[in-house]
Chain A
């Protein structure tokens, strides 16, 4: 697979996909913005690069909706950082989004297989 440069940037991601990625990432443990971005990049094997220009607005949007909450804590290298974690609504929302995503991808692959035949 060619390097990530040719992959769509985060702004091109399907709407709502970034929110889903953030929620999923945060479901493991509370994390700061940098951490979320690196985790997504790492897990996706450098395919998905989340631009800061979309990440932070998305984080704030989710916080304002009450899906995630923020807390200041010390990071690994002892610098104060803003850690985000899922709220109760956020967890429910994640489940809902995941099942949505499942349905969506299943539907898309159905269409694609049909076309290939």
Chain B
């Protein structure tokens, strides 16, 4: 066995000399001739008989070669060389086919790597499948659900203790939240996004630090030394990757923190946090409520989600009894809220709702690839048609139809692979751009890249595409049917309809797919229009400059002094030339809310345990509404006197006024207060228009505004807004000169104050529509490519039909046909194909666009305007695409046409 294998291997590696075989066969012929002469034939006749007896030296030679081990590989290489040479001889065809394929495969590969990186790949944590996001349901607690999370209610700090102590199914459990902190004492004051975690969060994730250690339970306890863990990127940027950073002290939010660890580069939990800080709950000051933290748990091995949910239900019952209700709240409020468990795979927490967008995009680029394949198949059909004569001759000379089919398939497979390689290069470039400047809202952005799975996918797609468009001409031309093509050679003949069926079908498919994609793009354009036409509750957002500051107690202790400092800054900003108005607030529209609570009205009665809806609060100075351009519906704005006198006043949004009292004017003079029982009632002095705070596609929240300084508010004797945003309305917003002056204005009051999150309201507005505009852009690109490819397809078919029917046209012209009639004949043919494609495309669109209904706003997936416009547009383009080649038909000179060939 082994010896036989070795012999084969030897022959595989080194072939015999071809001359040997020739010699051997020659010898055979000579022997035969010699014998024939001995039988009495003349030498010539003897030689002739010998050759007849031998029967085809060439065939025998071929068969001998075929015995060689590795001959199959040889043949493949030889055929490949031949195909490559042929492709090189047709540079236009090759270039067009390769570019088409590269675009199709490149786009598919790029989107697939996004889908794979975001949706498919397991999260980069050990045994990531046993991680769950911990949420609750509480149907009785309106407004507690996290925005954009459906009915999921985040965790209360108290749950940290209950879930850790009572759980039978959690191996680890922790809470975390995104925050921000100032870092001072380094080169320049800096504000960085932070991740604040309880003990258990890092332990659940299970990613060991690169240097140092995780937080211990002691680090997470108040009164211990404060500690911090650096994320890799921050460590590289700020400390140059110096491992001796462990043990150093960092001033965070004006307090010293000891660096105890550095996370590795691959640790990517919450996209952009730079520092990780411990939560340090004070256990005896916690109560039911404050649902603002995300929970993560690692399930014990073998525990199912169902078992864990049952466990959570059990723990929620314990939790309700174990903790006191929030001050001012009745325990019945929580007991009647109907708390229930809601665990879900942690991946859902990370990925959020981008799944739909990504799958729609994947489908879209898949369709573009199909159109590209149809186009290449069309090119190959033309090529095969012009090579019909050659193939017929080869078949007549003894090439089997299998050999011809093999060679044609090899050609398309090679095109597929070469196109795929180019496409891979394209997608690599596209991904670099995407990762560098893609939407920041896309989760797991840094995990996107070309990995072995993407490479495998790309190779598979290339081969499949090659097979797909290669098979069509093979089925049509390589089948054993030689004689007809040998007989009817000549370009002047008119072919029957039969002849063009394959190409026509391809064009119909292309038009149909293009229509489908254009309808998708059209729906997104209409959605975008609908979003733009929503009055967001502010005007000219590009003229509103936002800048944030944070005044710590270590800097300014007295709350009243904070307000005075802020007021000075407002005045300085207002003095800058070109500034129309300035205000200060806790948050700008489209930013999140710093706080919120249940809101009581004095004129309503509440049953025991009944909780009025929770809603967000915003704290503002006079002039805020004027600066934002928010309309005052009834009443008036706050005044500075009211603010400094700490008068008990409030302003509500129009929808809140309607919900509570029926009309905006009815709200004036009514008394409201927050959920804290002992807070004084405040009088509603104004009603303002709704602000679409979560972007134009989300319902505007009911909202209560309070002055930026108040007394006796939610436990504070004097409440001021230390973490505040300046809003400046000026035509000079976002210009370098204005920003310099604005910073100078703030620093002239306090030179050590970092100014951060410098952006315009327009930036926030655009971000809130980022998903829509991203989808729109992608679909528009895909639709545009589809349109171009579809139009090229129609053009090609009509142009080819014209060139094939030159002779027929000549006869028609000679018989008196008019140019316009001929043109109409060809345009009609193109339009017919396009119309069939449109009808099929409309049916497909009606069925498929439902899948993207969650991406639409203000229109249905069957938006009549889109469905009416797109086919008209496409038909017009098709008419043009057929008219151009059809015009050539009418300049045919009948004499020449009939003489040609």
Contacts and interface: CB of A to CB of B under 8 A. Distances in A.
A66 B3 contact: yes
Contacts of A51: 55
A67 B3 CA distance: 10
Interface string B53-76: 111100110011011110000000
A67 B27 CA distance: 23
A65 B8 CA distance: 6
Contacts of B11: 64
* Interface-centre pick from B20, B60, B66, B69 (highest chain A CB count, 10 A): B60
B464 interface: no
A93 to B, nearest CB: 9
B28 interface: yes
Interface in A57-110: 57, 60-61, 64-67, 72, 75, 77, 79-82, 89
Given A53-B56, A82-B20, A34 B63 contact: no
Contacts of B68: 60, 64
B8 A61 contact: no
Nearest to B34: A77
Nearest to A66: B7
Interface string A22-53: 00000000001110000000000000000111
A17 B8 CA distance: 22
Contact of B63 (A57, A64, A80): A57
Contacts of B4: 65-67, 89
B698 interface: no
B59 A80 contact: no
A11 B69 CA distance: 22
Interface residues of B, number: 29
Interface string B745-767: 00000000000000000000000
B823 to A, nearest CB: 60
A4 to B, nearest CB: 13
A64 B67 contact: yes
B217 interface: no
Given A34-B28, A81-B27, A57 B56 contact: no
A82 B60 contact: no
A66 to B, nearest CB: 3
A53 B59 contact: yes
B901 interface: no
Contacts of A66: 3-4, 6-8
Nearest to A62: B67
Given A80-B23, A82-B20, A52 B67 contact: no
B216 to A, nearest CB: 71
B30 interface: yes
Nearest to B68: A64
A52 B23 contact: no
Contacts of A52: 25, 28, 53-55, 60
A75 B28 CA distance: 12
B56 to A, nearest CB: 7
Contacts of B6: 66
Contacts of B67: 57, 60-61, 64
A32 B3 contact: no
A66 B54 CA distance: 26
Contacts of B30: 79
A82 B24 contact: yes
Contacts of A81: 24, 27
Nearest to B30: A79
B419 to A, nearest CB: 38
Nearest to B66: A57
Contacts of A56: 21, 24-25, 28, 60, 63-64
A105 B253 CA distance: 99
B744 interface: no
B11 to A, nearest CB: 5
A32 B27 contact: yes
B31 interface: yes
A34 B56 CA distance: 16
A82 B59 contact: no
Contact of A34 (B7, B32, B60): B32
A95 to B, nearest CB: 16
Nearest to A58: B67
B23 A82 contact: yes
B60 A64 contact: no
A90 B25 CA distance: 23
Contacts of B63: 53, 56-57
A51 B59 CA distance: 12
A53 B53 CA distance: 10
Interface in B866-893: none
Contacts of B27: 32-34, 75, 79-82
Interface of A: 32-34, 51-53, 56-57, 60-61, 64-67, 72, 75, 77, 79-82, 89
Interface of B: 3-4, 6-8, 11, 20-21, 23-25, 27-28, 30-32, 34, 53-56, 59-60, 63-64, 66-69
Nearest 8 pairs between A and B by C-beta?
A66-B7, A34-B31, A57-B63, A61-B67, A60-B67, A60-B64, A82-B24, A81-B27
12 contacts: A34-B32, A51-B55, A52-B54, A53-B54, A53-B59, A56-B21, A57-B64, A60-B67, A61-B67, A65-B8, A66-B7, A82-B27
Given A57-B64, A64-B68, 6 more contacts: A33-B27, A53-B55, A56-B28, A56-B63, A67-B4, A82-B20
